[in-house]
Amino acid sequence: MNIYPEEVHDAELGSPTYYPEIDSFCEEIHDATKGFGTDEQALVQILASKDTVERSLISFRYKEKYNKDLKKLMQKETSGDFGFATQLLAVSCFEAVAEIVRKSTKGLGTNEKLLYSVICGRSNAELQILKKTYFTRYNKDLTILVLSEVSGDLKKLLTACLQGMEEKYDPAYHTQSKADEDASTFYSKGEGKRFGTDEAALFELSVRLPLSI
């Protein structure tokens, strides 16, 4: 099971399906930013109230409708933490994740918790879209970038995730008894282990579990 709905995937892959409300949302954003000054309260009400599908469709439709990149518009019209928040809301879901990855690896040091939270747990299909989105936006290979920023067990985990090791859900194999077996293994390698934690084993088990169970 993917984190994002299929409509988000379709939009990111170049086949968005718009509905009438999307044009109305774009017009509201346009009205809030045209002329002198910006109606920040209106931007919050418009962008923050939309779900993942709506935000993705707005980001693509706004550029088609006004020939302007919505993220660049937010950069121009807003600033600070508020500006960064509006920029994330103004792009598609995958572009937002790509921006978070870039922010977590830019400059000195790496925000490993942020990397872990946005990469792990994604389906193979979503990882492929994310890699494509990152390369299109920043002209860099996501896998090479991420693995150059981490080390140790975290690197092993992220390597497994980025290589698409998630198992496809098979109801004949992923049964209740298999779930009980994996749960027992997970406990024995973690909380139930007498000395320390077998992190490598936990990582391997976590990565290969199908998300559609």
Same domain, 57 and 117: no
List the domain range (segments joined by +) for residue 190: 176-208
Same domain, 35 and 82: yes
CA 160, 213, 184: angle at the middle one, nearest 5? 75
Residues 6+ away with beta carbon under 8 Å from 48: 89
Residue 111 has pLDDT above 80, yes or no: yes
Same domain, 82 and 10: yes
- Alpha helices by DSSP H, listed for 106-175, are 112-119, 124-138, 142-149, 152-162
Same domain, 75 and 152: no
- How many domains does the chain fold into? 3
User: With the CA atoms of 186, 162, 169 and 202 taken in that order, what torsion angle do they form, in degrees rounded to the nearest 10?
Assistant: 0
> Of the spans 2-6, 76-80, 143-147, 204-208, which averages the highest pLDDT?
143-147
Element (H, E) at 171: none
Last residue of a domain, one of 91, 110, 127: 91
* Model-wide pTM > 0.85: no
Same domain, 77 and 100: no
What is the model's pLDDT at position 3? 86
Nearest to 25 by CA among 8, 49, 41: 49
